[in-house]
Amino acid sequence: MLKQAPLNNSFRFRQVRDQTELLCASLSAEDCNLQAMPDTSPLKWHLAHTTWFFETFTLTPFSPGYRRYDESFQVLFNSYYNGIGKQHPRSQRHLLSRPGLNEVLEYRQHVNKAVSALLDLPVHADQGEISSRLYLGLNHEQQHQELMLTDLKYNLGCNPLAPVYVQSELPEREPAEAGFEFYKGGLVEVGQPADDGFGFDNERPQHKAWLEPFALGRKLVTNGEYREFIADGGYRRPELWLSDGWSTVQEQNWTQPLYWDLDADSPSVFTLHGQQPLRNEYPVCHLSYFEADAYARWAGARLPTEEEWEHACRQSHKPQQGREIDFNLKSLQPTGTTPNKGLRDLFGQVWQWTSSAYRAYPGYRVTPGALGEYNGKFMCNQFVLRGSSCATPRSHSRASYRNFFYAPDRWQFTGLRLARDAMPGAS
């Protein structure tokens, strides 16, 4: 399923688990049980589900004498693992007023103690598999840390009081350098190398892909640029949209990105830091695939393929890492970084839509058993995003990482970078 990376298992386990609970430290029990749409989940459910993952895939098969905290949790907090058993309906997670938040936190401590005891055993016949599953569970929990923040943002964003999660003053930025970086293409390597530490199974195997010459935007598309698209009638021009996208625009009455308010005296945007001025120089965020594709067409460009994005990333000569979640939680909004030459903000700002359908790489094999449901069964009708966002842990910001969502989805920190075909010899 995955390749294990060296780590101090006990320390890393405690660190990741503590970080998850820190996200909820300032919230009420009511805040933690909100679910404003079926795609989001209550934060209390995330706290329990990530615990269920360790209990189900590590403790139950490998910890001698372990007894589950509560048998009913096997159904309540199973997300989509049919090989394990039934699941509580996703759209009804907010109806789970019981167990309460305090009991879910007790559940976490119960499992934490059992995992720590398992890791403290001097010898275990399945030590390699235990470490492998532990590290998968930690990366799974880090994915949920980002989901907790995006779900919380959507849930709070439905409140007319525009609640502040964390008070913060967002910085002003200088406009980024426009233009494109050119790449000659050719036969390139795509995917995670076999000896490159941890990776999810959808990042492998590494394989070859042919790229025609292309150009990739030096910067992310900004709020100011997207406002020009709106002013030019972007949401009223069907020729710019895919058929399904135009239907969605009409059905959902889209006129601007999620969380924007252009009708106020001063344009503003809802953030986890409350209602903030809409700054033109910041990267545009919370776009669906349909919106990103329509903007690219309006701009006379296109979205990059995921192979183009990865190749350009590996050629950029910049550290292929983003930033850790700031657990002072002062910067949970894409703001862009200090201007520099070359490709900017590959990581740590917004996930960037590509034109690539989410599919299996050549030679991909599904892991036997329920863990094989982690990625493979979702390789249908979704699009790949590359990079990472302002809410993504650093260790998930790598060139080969493949995020994926459905075309209408826009509650994640999603934006875009433009691409163009390039003539051979362009520079």
Domain count along the chain: 2
Contact 419, 215 (CB under 8 A): yes
> Which burial class, exposed, middle or buried, applies to 198 when counting CB atoms under 10 A from its CB (0-12, 13-18, 19+)?
buried
pLDDT tens track for 53-89: 999 999 999 998 999 999 999 999 999 999 999 999 9
Whether residue 353 is predicted with pLDDT greater than 60 in this model: the reply is: yes
DSSP calls for 99-159: S-HHHHHHHHHHHHHHHHHHHH-S--TTHHHHHHHHHHHHHHHHHHHHHHHHHHHHHHHTS
Q: In this predicted structure, what is the pLDDT of residue 1?
A: 44
Q: In this predicted structure, what is the pLDDT of residue 4?
A: 44
Q: For residues 125 and 184, state if they share a domain.
A: no
Q: For residues 236 and 186, state if they share a domain.
A: yes
Q: For residues 237 and 363, state if they share a domain.
A: yes
Give the pLDDT mean for 121-134.
Answer: 88
Q: For residues 351 and 203, state if they share a domain.
A: yes
pLDDT-derived band at 9 (thresholds 50, 70, 90) equals: confident
Whether residue 286 is predicted with pLDDT greater than 90 in this model: the reply is: yes
Who's near 121: CB < 8 A, 6+ residues apart? none
Q: In this predicted structure, what is the pLDDT of residue 328?
A: 52
Whether residue 251 is predicted with pLDDT greater than 90 in this model: the reply is: yes
Give the pLDDT mean for 281-299.
Answer: 99
Q: For residues 402 and 304, state if they share a domain.
A: yes
Q: Peptide bond preceding 99: is omega within 30 degrees of 0, i.e. cis?
A: yes
d(CA 320, CA 301): 25
Range of the domain at 147: 9-157
Phi, psi of 259 (to 5 degrees): 80, -5
Whether residue 296 is predicted with pLDDT greater than 70 in this model: the reply is: yes
d(CA 219, CA 179): 8
pLDDT-derived band at 425 (thresholds 50, 70, 90) equals: low
Whether residue 191 is predicted with pLDDT greater than 60 in this model: the reply is: yes
Q: What Å distances lie between residue 220 and 100, 205, 237, 341, 342, CA to CA?
A: 42, 29, 23, 13, 12
In a domain? residue 172: no
In a domain? residue 281: yes
Q: For residues 190 and 152, state if they share a domain.
A: no
Q: For residues 26 and 135, state if they share a domain.
A: yes
d(CA 69, CA 89): 21
Q: In this predicted structure, what is the pLDDT of residue 326?
A: 46
Give the pLDDT mean for 158-182.
Answer: 92
Who's near 356: CB < 8 A, 6+ residues apart? 305, 306, 307, 383, 384
Q: For residues 264 and 220, state if they share a domain.
A: yes
Q: In this predicted structure, what is the pLDDT of residue 273?
A: 97
CATH assignment at residue 290: 3.90.1580.10
pLDDT tens track for 230-242: 999 999 999 999 9
More confident residue, 385 or 342: 385
Average pLDDT, the chain: 93
In a domain? residue 171: no
pLDDT tens track for 89-121: 999 999 999 999 999 999 999 999 999 999 988
Q: For residues 199 and 328, state if they share a domain.
A: yes
Give the pLDDT mean for 341-360.
Answer: 95
